[in-house]
Chain A
Amino acid sequence: MTEIPLPDGAILRTREADHESLADLVPGQTAVVCCVRQGQAKRRRLLEMGFVSGTELRLVRTAPLGDPIQVEVRGYQLSLRRADARGILVRSV
């Protein structure tokens, strides 16, 4: 059991197995979002763009040098940096 602190002292509890990040996926792999662990502003933005818990997403491809990566989420294509993707924890399916 791992505890992830959230603002205002709330705590998000998740199971060990969930700690894969979006950046760890292989192109073509599908996964479900567990939670977003980022600074407040980035987190908010990612949530607004659809990276809410339980969202299904697919890593489409990575750019030639591995960065940025292209993700399909909620029916559209988004490109984001590997560093930001590391903060998106997922559970692969």
Chain B
Amino acid sequence: MHVESSSAASERTRVHHLALAGNPNSGKTSVFNRLTGLRHRIGNYPGVTVERVEGTVKLGDGAEAQIVDLPGCYSLYSNAPDERIARDALLGLLPDSTPPDAVIAVVDASNLERNLYFVTQLMETGLPVCVALNMVDIAERHGKPIDAALLAEELGVPVVPIVARSGKGFDELRAAIPRAKVSNRLWRMPDTAENAIEGLRAAVEKTGMVPDAAVEGEAIRLACHARDEDPYLARGGDELRVALHKARDMLVEAGIDREALESEFRYALCHHIVERVQQSSPEGRNRSEAVDRIVTHPVFGPILYLAVMAVMFQGVYAWAGPFMDGIDAGMSWLGEHVAEMLGEGMLTDLLVDGVLAGVGGILVFLPQICLLFFFLSLLEDVGYMARAAFLADRVMRGVGLHGKAFIPLMSSFACAIPGIMATRSMDNARDRLVTMLIAPLISCSARLPVYALLIAAFIPKGYQGLTLLSMYVLSVLAALGAAWVLRRFVVRGEPSTFLMELPSYKVPAWRHVFRTVGNRGWVFVRQAGTVILAISIILWFLAAFPKSDEIAQEAEQRIERGEDADVVARWESGEQLRNSYAGKMGLMLEPAIRPLGFDWRIGVGLVTSFAAREVLVSTLGIVFSVGDVDETSVALRDRLRAAKLPNGAKAYNGLVAISIMVFFVLACQCMATLAVIKRETNSWRWPIFVFVYMTALAWVGSFIVYQGGLALGFGT
């Protein structure tokens, strides 16, 4: 319901349902997000794992419309699942959805010819179309500005220049949508071909399978591209098949290559249009090209990649330092205050040795988490990731991974779960499975506090960044190795194509980058304040009880016999800890982990870190707080360093630290990840397999590191 302007002679489309379509990488998602704000939801198309994204958008005249973001397509007539869904949605052939009243075609201005290919196909569906010409700023920067008005004339539909990243042009876009127009086919094939299609056109119309306006497009599609198993052929019946074969015979007689027919003529049209509406600078080369010369250089490319990674990791360490000290100081101040206010008693102990030690121990790593995500987000935003995929493809293929696995695996550096879900974009089932099975090996952000703590406690300053980088490198090597092994164990599938567009570099959208960092930081804090808090509380109780009277009596006797009070106190708390529930758990595990250099305290940590890897840090915090008599330093890393065995020798050193880290690199300790794997593979077999193989790998890895290190003379 909108008000018809009586003065304007323009035709207006009554818009209730909109579809948003365009090439991948055209910025379609940004356009959708800007149009709908926060008012959108994600679901699924029935029967396939293609996502269905819908929202509400306010139009220029105040009316509201439902808008669906269709999967990105290079061509409407291809057989890929994404593109088939898009076509069905546009023609109103999906079971439970309404056909759109109009289509907004998002076009990447810096890539006009190929984008127009798709737009002309959209126009042939007979639906009203409005073109959103996105990324005009990039086109200008490349010296190839576009005359939007002229383009609108050529196409016969409204064209609105926009820059989705900055929000420019959106008012005009909202106003233009009701003015979307239907346009006719803009290209003609040679007469022989047109004649061949004529008969088919009539047959398609007779079947009534598609709206009348889309009949021509459908006829061309069937003639040029349809395979025998095409669902429309089945539905159309024998008459349609006969007409199709007749049309194809005519094409062969005329010596026409039917597969190339549509593409050739369509691109000829697009080329013609582009020549008319877009200037091309004689220079041709643009900034992206210059940057790429270095980034993807055979020698410099990989070196640059390693350098970027090294900077990232060293930075995460060095620059987070002062903030971390600040949080540490805050925690100890808080601890003192609480003790003062509440006096002695169980509650105080719980709060100081349980809550603060546990949650505080993990919160201290917030700055590092934020820095890590800042870098990852920045690299992705700028467009570096595509180049990294290009460099990595050969290596990935060497172990049997598909090129499309790159993005899911990169995502796993943040958290394996979105990474595993991202494998939905992989069409080959075998490739997808292998990728899912190795994603947990990629060092996720939850492992970072574990590495950070151990490195800070036991690795000399100069080598800290390097050690951290090594852990990540190890995880990548492990993932690649596992992929290779799995590829032989899981029967080989066909090698698939790897076509990937390399979008131009973009100036980072800082707002987006910081929003990502903020989001991730908040998730981290929320996690600390809920699950980790609850676990810390329970853990404290497990570590503080039962208190044994015999041990207390023994301690008193020792003091009376004249032994040093401090030494006795330390002994007593150590014994009490061993006697507690938590201690008993750890002791049970100890025989299995002694060869790895771990003691029962680490054992307790291994058990608890199953809830969440970061809980190891909290656990150690509590275990060392409850058993700690020496309160000169609150920082966990100092307490770890000072930890002693019952006989007085140091409990841990650099070698043990590395052994623990290697264990964490390789072990699968995330229940949530296993749950997602089960969901995505629909069976228990695979999560169990992942758990078993990773645990075995972790144990063996740690063993080799620790025993090997001992043999080589490291660590006393």
B residues in contact with A54, CB < 8 Å:
264
Does the CB pair B499–A45 fall under 8 Å? Answer: yes
On whether A64 and B502 interact (CB within 8 A), knowing A6-B257, A76-B111, the answer reads no
- A-B pair number, CB within 8 angstroms: 134
The segment from B294-302, B443-451, B522-530 found at the interface with A is B294-302
B residues in contact with A91, CB < 8 Å:
none
On whether A45 and B78 interact (CB within 8 A), knowing A10-B255, A12-B257, the answer reads yes
- Mark out the residues of chain B between 250 and 277 whose CB falls within 8 Å of any chain A CB in the assembled complex: 251-252, 255-260, 263-264, 267, 271, 274
Does the CB pair B114–A75 fall under 8 Å? Answer: yes
| A79 CB to nearest chain B CB (Å) | 5
A93–B251 alpha-carbon span in the complex (Å)? 31
The answer to whether the Cβ of B117 comes within 8 Å of any Cβ in the partner chain is yes
Does the CB pair A78–B501 fall under 8 Å? Answer: yes
The answer to whether the Cβ of B704 comes within 8 Å of any Cβ in the partner chain is no
Does the CB pair B394–A48 fall under 8 Å? Answer: no
The answer to whether the Cβ of B498 comes within 8 Å of any Cβ in the partner chain is yes
Does the CB pair A61–B252 fall under 8 Å? Answer: no
- By a beta-carbon cutoff of 8 Å, the part of chain A in contact with chain B is 6-10, 12, 35-36, 40-50, 52-55, 60-68, 70, 74-81, 83-84
On whether A50 and B502 interact (CB within 8 A), knowing A64-B391, A75-B114, the answer reads no
The answer to whether the Cβ of B572 comes within 8 Å of any Cβ in the partner chain is no
| B278 CB to nearest chain A CB (Å) | 9
On whether A63 and B394 interact (CB within 8 A), knowing A6-B257, A10-B256, the answer reads yes
Does the CB pair A9–B252 fall under 8 Å? Answer: yes
On whether A68 and B390 interact (CB within 8 A), knowing A53-B264, A80-B498, the answer reads yes
B residues in contact with A68, CB < 8 Å:
390, 393-394, 403, 498, 500
Task: Report B77-117 CB contacts with A as 1/0, cut-off 8 Å.
Answer: 01100000000000000000000000000000011111001
Does the CB pair A63–B74 fall under 8 Å? Answer: no
A12–B255 alpha-carbon span in the complex (Å)? 8
Does the CB pair B260–A47 fall under 8 Å? Answer: yes
B residues in contact with A61, CB < 8 Å:
292-293, 296-297
The answer to whether the Cβ of B647 comes within 8 Å of any Cβ in the partner chain is no
Does the CB pair A52–B263 fall under 8 Å? Answer: yes
Kindly state the interface size class of chain B when it binds its partner.
35 or more
A74–B74 alpha-carbon span in the complex (Å)? 14
**Which residue of the partner chain, among A42, A47, A48, A63, contacts B391 with CB atoms under 8 Å?**
A63
Does the CB pair B390–A52 fall under 8 Å? Answer: no
A77–B296 alpha-carbon span in the complex (Å)? 13
Task: Report B27-48 CB contacts with A as 1/0, cut-off 8 Å.
Answer: 0000000000000000000000
A93–B87 alpha-carbon span in the complex (Å)? 39
**Which residue of the partner chain, among B79, B267, B296, contacts A63 with CB atoms under 8 Å?**
B296
On whether A63 and B257 interact (CB within 8 A), knowing A10-B252, A52-B267, the answer reads no
A27–B110 alpha-carbon span in the complex (Å)? 23
Does the CB pair B267–A44 fall under 8 Å? Answer: no
Does the CB pair B258–A63 fall under 8 Å? Answer: no
Does the CB pair A81–B502 fall under 8 Å? Answer: no
Q: Which A-B residue pairs are the 9 nearest by beta carbons?
A: A47-B263, A77-B502, A48-B75, A64-B298, A74-B113, A76-B111, A65-B394, A79-B500, A52-B264
| B25 CB to nearest chain A CB (Å) | 9
A residues in contact with B502, CB < 8 Å:
70, 77-79
User: Which residue of the partner chain B has the closest CB to A74?
Assistant: B113
On whether A10 and B258 interact (CB within 8 A), knowing A45-B499, A48-B263, A79-B498, the answer reads yes
User: Which residue of the partner chain B has the closest CB to A6?
Assistant: B257
Does the CB pair B260–A52 fall under 8 Å? Answer: yes
Does the CB pair B499–A49 fall under 8 Å? Answer: yes
A46–B264 alpha-carbon span in the complex (Å)? 12
Does the CB pair B252–A8 fall under 8 Å? Answer: yes
| B96 CB to nearest chain A CB (Å) | 29
**Which residue of the partner chain, among A36, A50, A79, contacts B390 with CB atoms under 8 Å?**
A79
The answer to whether the Cβ of B404 comes within 8 Å of any Cβ in the partner chain is no
Does the CB pair A75–B112 fall under 8 Å? Answer: yes
On whether A45 and B390 interact (CB within 8 A), knowing A53-B264, A75-B112, the answer reads no
A40–B301 alpha-carbon span in the complex (Å)? 35
The answer to whether the Cβ of B201 comes within 8 Å of any Cβ in the partner chain is no
Give the one of A53, A68, A76, A84 with max B CB within 10 A.
A76
User: Which residue of the partner chain A has the closest CB to B256?
Assistant: A10
User: Which residue of the partner chain B has the closest CB to A82?
Assistant: B394
On whether A40 and B259 interact (CB within 8 A), knowing A8-B252, A50-B267, A79-B498, the answer reads yes
